[in-house]
Amino acid sequence: MNTRMEIARRPDVLKRSRRVALLVGTILIGINYFDRVLAGTLITADYFKMALTYCVPFCVSTHASVSAIMEQQRNIANDQM
């Protein structure tokens, strides 16, 4: 059975997680920083927080994908018994 990290590094999982992070992160940044972007009042800390905003949905999506794949593998293994 694959380990969690092996599954998380799979190209299909990474591609899906990147797409989710890009979409959800951009929406969240728009919600939280749109006024500051328009006003030009972003500070250095805001850029750091914006980067983290992309990391959260990436991690959540990766975790969900890995969990679903592991569950599917367990079900297949149980069915073969």
State the Cα–Cα distance between residues 35 and 28, nearest whole angstrom: 13
The residue type at 5: M
**Which residue has 């980067």 as its token pair?**
51
User: What pLDDT is stored for residue 81 in this prediction?
Assistant: 72
Q: What is the pLDDT along the chain (81 residues), one digit of tens a residue?
A: 579 999 999 999 999 999 999 999 999 999 999 999 999 999 999 999 999 999 999 999 999 999 999 999 999 888 887
pTM of the model: 0.86
User: What pLDDT is stored for residue 14 in this prediction?
Assistant: 98
What residue spans define the domains of the chain?
Answer: 4-79
Q: Token pair for residue 45?
A: 């800390």
DSSP state of 10: S
